[in-house]
Chain A
């Protein structure tokens, strides 16, 4: 039987990093106990990002720019903050990535160990031969009340990896999984925030007892012990808990992987795998990596790096992602982006944003996948496709072949920064972009600050939230342009 494991991995962090000092200082009058946590930054999603859009971005980083993605035959999406309770969230991701309709899409939710659980499922699926190439992505954008510890601890991010039998950078050895109804926090549908129990109990009865149990189960299965582990991954917001678990399991505390608490924050379902990405970008062949998670139980997964790891070049390393973040010192902007303050949206913000679902389905490839058309007679490329080609003086009928725009670079032809139209992050930047190879779209720009834009500038496409229909509870997605 051939080996199964990970052939590629990539993380995604939103551009902004909220200064924790800006948060703790603003809340010091109310929560002086949190002033000590006001160090470093946490990843802060733009208003138009959610767990689905962040996953799309991470997966694009492992799939590359090739139009042909037919090799992806299964997709697991893990999150505790899925935008929809009843609409296949991984199906949204599939549509955005223009994966085949036959790609089996599975949502795995409801626990912070959903990321590792999804990975175990994908490994089993590929190992059993039911899938040849599987994508696992985990993402979370968790909300927290203002002046809560969670606000400072959490971070927004995603990660994606491919499970394969070829070109493995990390071979799967084995895994164990415990499901225990230990409720350190909970959140029912419709609730915005977690309800949390006492930290000391979570640490002592939860992390320090449940995680070692999962690890020891795995060690028993694989006949290895802690001394053989080269990288130990266990996300926790409690200081030194990872070291304490390592010690309990016979793992050298020096092998504990840094949890990015002061740069990214704890990214929920994504965090174990994001830490794994940070390990794989610097690991050497033959190293054993123990990936653990905690959430109503615990998962423990063991990998061993292969020789291919020497040639592994991630799209962007986690280290580089951390370095290239832009610090945001405006705590109110964070609160506004996350709808945590009642702010004046003006009458223009009252516009009904109902989405015609019939139209969305009829144009699903165009809207979700940014697929346009190429005229088979004139070669003219256009967005969106139309019954009659836009080719000047050559109105060919029914000649449009699907043409994918999402992975193509473009240049700004014209733009404006609009203070009049409703925007959660004014001014509203938008303009006409011309694509390499042909085609153009007038499109919103995002992840851009005032004064950062000009005609001729290179941009790339990102999948984002277009609007949120508060009346009906519907998130409308589309593509936007960001500076390269």
Chain B
């Protein structure tokens, strides 16, 4: 029986670049920005790194394939660099690789860097992804917002929620995230928006308007991990350790079997249950202090509140409207502004979520700082509702 990852690995340092339309920055610049901050935070030299993981999704407009783009950009000492890609959950995948290497004893110190350079396409939104040779012949000719928007139509039908009520609730999700992002100098979008603005924005994919969609930006984030013992030997105290790392991947059921109703994420529920068990959490609504979830679209965040077992099924609209997830609510969600304000440089996002949880747990989040958080959860989703990968990480004070 696996004993799980709980408290076996500590975070030694983290870094995060400024996210945004980084017309000035190359993929290498972005990687270096997050790497230098993480190395300074860890207080180590490059030759102390044993292994590296590099997450990056779209190789044709980013840094290219393989491990070399990271090794060259950071001039790593010829250590192992593994490029990982798991749709939009790639950042969490890099973190998982580094954490598992340390837990296995294969590496004393490992680094994960996630980077995406999206703004070299020449147009807004994500560039179309290659799904092989069969899927384009039988799949709809859609986009990410169109795929996620279907959550809304299915959720409305299942829970008998009016189009207006759901639209208002998802608008609140975005208003809340913008309010948080306005306090974050590293966020791409740092302006507050009103509910009226969100409701009246141009339609992207029914019922998702412009403000229901996350930004598209460039960015990078990095994490350096080691064992709690080594961290202490390096002079660190008040350690933040990994409590759970879970990944659940669709096996085609949602897309092909009539048992899934389209209104929720099958994988999120599985990953959440496993993550809570691994972290020893029995009452998530009481025990989780804060969350960074994959709010690629406002409706994704809303249904995720139920899939993480924080809101009761069918009750997310009420919780959202009650302010349960606002900065001053019971469980603040997207306290850094989320994908909504950071944008979603795909390979970086999972690590960016962890960066905010790490800052908050250390009391280093500046004007966004929450009072005494002890458990932070990140939820990083890749793919689309009918076919996805869901990565959940829980981190917290090591000695808690």
Contacts and interface: CB of A to CB of B under 8 A. Distances in A.
B377 to A, nearest CB: 27
Contacts of A455: 153-154, 156-157
Contact of A431 (B122, B150, B259): B150
Interface in B233-252: 251-252
A344 B261 CA distance: 38
B386 A439 contact: no
A315 interface: no
A434 B258 contact: yes
Given A416-B149, A416-B208, 7 more contacts: A418-B206, A420-B143, A430-B146, A438-B258, A440-B257, A442-B140, A467-B141
B262 A421 contact: no
A416 B137 contact: no
Contacts, number: 138
Contacts of A392: 253, 257, 259
B146 A456 contact: no
A359 B139 CA distance: 14
A390 B253 contact: yes
Interface of A: 346-348, 351, 353, 355-356, 358-360, 363, 366-367, 380, 382-384, 386, 390-392, 413-423, 427-428, 430-432, 434, 438-444, 454-456, 466-467, 476, 478
Interface string B101-141: 00000000000000000000111010010000110111111
Given A351-B128, A416-B150, A439-B258, A430 B137 contact: no
Given A392-B257, A418-B149, A442-B139, A413 B154 contact: yes
A416 B157 contact: no
A415 B153 contact: yes
A347 B61 CA distance: 14
A442 B141 contact: no
A416 B141 contact: no
A356 B133 contact: yes
A476 B137 contact: yes
Interface residues of B, number: 43
Contact of A414 (B123, B139, B150, B208): B150
A347 B123 contact: yes
B203 interface: yes
B73 interface: no
A421 B122 CA distance: 15
A418 B122 CA distance: 20
Interface in B249-300: 251-253, 255-259, 261-263
7 contacts: A390-B257, A391-B257, A392-B253, A420-B145, A421-B142, A430-B142, A432-B386
B197 to A, nearest CB: 18
Nearest to A479: B138
Nearest to B252: A390
B341 to A, nearest CB: 20
A466 B141 contact: yes
The 6 closest A-B pairs by CB, nearest first: A418-B146, A430-B140, A414-B150, A356-B133, A416-B149, A455-B157
B204 interface: yes
A420 B145 CA distance: 8
Contacts of A358: 133
A414 B262 contact: yes
Nearest to B208: A416
A440 B146 contact: no
